[in-house]
Structure 1
Amino acid sequence: MMELFEFDLVFSLPEGSTHDVFALADCIYAAGFDDAVIGTGQPGLLAASLECEGEDAETVIRQAARAILPQLPAGSWLREVRPDLVSLADVAGRLQIKRQSLQKRPMPQPVTHGLYRVTEIFGVLTQQLTEKPSVRFDIDHAKPWFAAGKGAQRLNARLALGDLDAASLDIAAA
């Protein structure tokens, strides 16, 4: 069954050279992502927010990153996939509610400094909707973002452990 996933890919760009923002955006568009939102706010990094359909999040995210990487300047590599660790402000923004509304609810323990695993937050929010139908937020609007969470976590773990080559996105040789 096809499902929609909403996620961000963050690429590290090669050091020592300047990168034209418009040329970087063209790289993303050339990979077939005409509706991507591009971010270049931090020097040396390029972020692309994407919505893609597929059967499972990890495969969809990896395919998107593999399509984009060859278009980027040589020496670029996948640094991070989001959502993985999120703040309550991130979640509130996706649910179109105020952060304070989430702070009043039972939440899982943060992983570090106010960051939570997106999959744990989704589980808690889903449970709250089931137990209290009067809960006032629309989780359906944010489902594609939450749905990408598990795939993002897996890919970030594989990148961190060296099981996935960040420059080619091939499975690393053991």
Structure 2
Amino acid sequence: MEYIFTMKYQLAEHDDPDALVERLGESGCDDALVGIGQPGRLALEFTREADNAWAAMRSALVDVKRAIPSARLIEAAPDFVGLTDVAEVVGVSRQNMRKLMLAHPGSFPAPIHEGGGSIWHLAEVLTWLEAKGGYSLERSVLEVSRVALQVNVAKEAHWLPTKAARELNALVG
């Protein structure tokens, strides 16, 4: 199956973006569109064939690490989204998504950030919509969003000592 996802990286100061593109191709990332518009950043939009979303994203992470060992993952996407992003994925209007959120305050997933622009994990909203029924969701998008969420959580977990992680999991779970 084909999976589409994006990996965003922070580069080391000495990394030459033009040389990196060639190294990425040699390491197996020839299925990625490369974005180097922002200084010190690299975005790779993969269209990768694999048996499942985990295998696709894992192999991309390995390939990038082999090509650019100094690169630091910023974000795996699709994961962090606003209502407009969710609406686009589902094929409905933003107003429709907002109505759903307001009509189901007890069951609609809570945002991970509230404010002028609230942010959700795409996997949580798509899982909720799938359970609700009546929406045409691409299986690959749901799978990739779940793996992207796991990658992003794992990336941030290094901040917590193991004992603190266990205690916090018991408190927030």
For the 8 Å contact 1:56–1:151, the answer to whether it is kept is: no
Conserved? CA contact 1:83–1:146, under 8 Å: no
Equivalent runs, 1:12-161 vs 2, <5 Å: 12-15=10-13, 17=14, 19-20=16-17, 22-72=18-68, 75-106=70-101, 107-113=108-114, 114-128=118-132, 130=133, 133=134, 138-140=136-138, 143-161=139-157
Q: Which has the higher contact order (CA 8 A, sep 6+)?
A: 1
Q: Match of 1:104, SS?
A: helix
Distance 2:137 2:46 in 1: 19
Counterpart secondary structure, 1:139: coil
Gaps (5+ residues) in structure 2? 102-107, 160-173
- Measure, in 1, the Cα distance between the counterparts of 2:120 and 2:83: 8
- In 1, Cα distance between equivalents of 2:6 and 2:79: 10
Letter in 1 for 2:123: T
Spell out, residue by residue over 1:71-111, the C-alpha distance to the aligned partner (whole angstroms, 9 max, x if none).
23x52222321222222222223234432221121342211
Q: CA separation of 1:18/1:32 partners in 2, compared to 1, >3 Å: closer, same or farther? A: closer
Instruction: Deviation per CA, 1:24-60: give whole Å up to 9, x if none.
Output: 3333332333342222233211111112233443343
Number of aligned residue pairs? 150
The answer (yes or no) to whether the contact 1:27–1:68 under 8 Å persists in 2 is no
Change (3 A) 1:96 1:19: farther
- Richer in helix (by share): 2
Instruction: Give, in angstroms, the shift of residue 149 of structure 1.
Output: 1.8
Partner of 2:158: 162
d(CA) in 2 for partners of 1:48 and 1:98? Answer: 28
Q: Scaled by the length of structure 2, what TM-score is found?
A: 0.71
Aligned residues of 1:12 and 1:77 also touching (Cα < 8 A):
yes
Question: Which range moved further: 93-102 or 147-156?
Answer: 93-102
Measured in 1, the distance between the counterparts of 2:137 and 2:93 equals 14
Structure 1 vs Structure 2 CA RMSD: 2.5
Check whether the contact 2:127–2:142 (CA below 8 A) recurs between aligned residues.
no
Sequence identity, in percent? 25
Aligned-partner residue type, residue 43 of structure 1 = P
